[in-house]
Chains A and B, each alone.
Chain A
Amino acid sequence: MKKESDEILVEDIWNEQKKAGLKEFILSESAKQSEERRLRNELLAIQYRMQDYIESENPTNMLRLMDFVKMYLHTLNVTQKKLAELFEMKDSNLHKYLVGERKLNADLVLKLSSFSHVDPEYWFRVEVKNELIEINKEKAKAKDYQKYDYRNLLAAS
């Protein structure tokens, strides 16, 4: 039977010299990567964060489409204005969609998908996720909505 004292601990195998050596190794291996590959690493990280946000049960912070677009713009070092030009839209118009003032449509979803190389469905699901979060917040006020019960219509007629 395994005992506590038999267990190998992470601390037992690490020292400063080893830590520095590994850091150097990863930095040298990373330096051999192409710019394209390094960019891909950054873009994949955003994509995985988006997937995790969609699948999270109780996200601590609401992330809007704008937040994910900002992550891409920051990584690619381009402005929202440039993105609007690429999308053949007015910057102010694009902004309204990204902050949720306007509902996403298929055209913009496909543009975002093409821009980010992320499945169009994910962009839609971020918006739906946020709507569900809003609905769950509103559920606390369920009493205020009881007057909309169909039975009230029947009773009145």
Chain B
Amino acid sequence: MDIRITQFSDSKSIDAKIIKSAGLALPTFGGWRFNFEKHARNAAFQTYVLVTEETPYAIEGCLIFRLKDEMEPYMAYIEIAPHNKGENRRFDRVAGCLIAFASRLSFIHGKDHFKGWLAFDVLEEREEDEVKLMTVYCQKYGALKWSGTTMVISPEAGEKLIFKFLEQ
């Protein structure tokens, strides 16, 4: 899917796309938190990467989506590349685009009452980081806190994210 992200240094809009990960060398740590290469081998997982048009082999962010019990959408893993974190990051909007894409998948694959509802867990090594991140998910992406570390994005919030990050 064609999308646009923003170059942090000059706010320039950059052509990018979210594609299935097949054929690409996925992150196996080296600054990343998750071993995407390993998880992508799980047949129950759908793995996607965000790349720019200009550098289609450089992964800017990764997403693993799963349909639990063949009906409940779940964002199993999401991470942006280490060079897109912090004050000197290369690109903005990478996380937003991937979360919006996962919401879109929850509309397409979710069944019955689960259509459009995206669940996920926020897990950090330190509890204060976890709380901080959950606040970001609430404020920036409209997620609801369910219990402990689990959050849910509703179809209304998901639709807004899809419009903001994938259709504008």
Contacts and interface: CB of A to CB of B under 8 A. Distances in A.
Interface of A: 1-4, 7-8, 10, 13, 18-19, 21-23, 25-27, 29-31, 33, 37-38, 40-42, 44-45, 48-49, 51-52, 55
Contacts of B92: none
A19 to B, nearest CB: 7
Given A45-B108, A48-B108, 8 more contacts: A2-B29, A2-B31, A29-B152, A33-B155, A37-B155, A41-B115, A44-B107, A55-B2
Nearest to A49: B108
Contacts, number: 79
Contacts of B113: 26-27, 30-31
B1 A8 contact: no
A55 B110 CA distance: 21
Contacts of A33: 155
Top 10 A-B pairs, shortest CB-CB distance: A30-B113, A41-B116, A2-B29, A45-B107, A41-B115, A41-B155, A10-B76, A8-B123, A26-B117, A25-B146
A89 B108 CA distance: 31
B156 interface: yes
Interface of B: 1-2, 29, 31-35, 66, 68, 72, 74, 76-77, 104, 107-108, 110, 113-117, 119, 121, 123, 144, 146-147, 149-150, 152, 154-156, 159
A35 to B, nearest CB: 13
6 contacts: A13-B121, A22-B119, A30-B117, A37-B156, A41-B107, A45-B116
B162 to A, nearest CB: 8
A34 to B, nearest CB: 11
A4 B77 CA distance: 15
Nearest to B76: A10
Nearest to A9: B39
A29 B33 CA distance: 32
B22 to A, nearest CB: 12
Contacts of B146: 21-22, 25
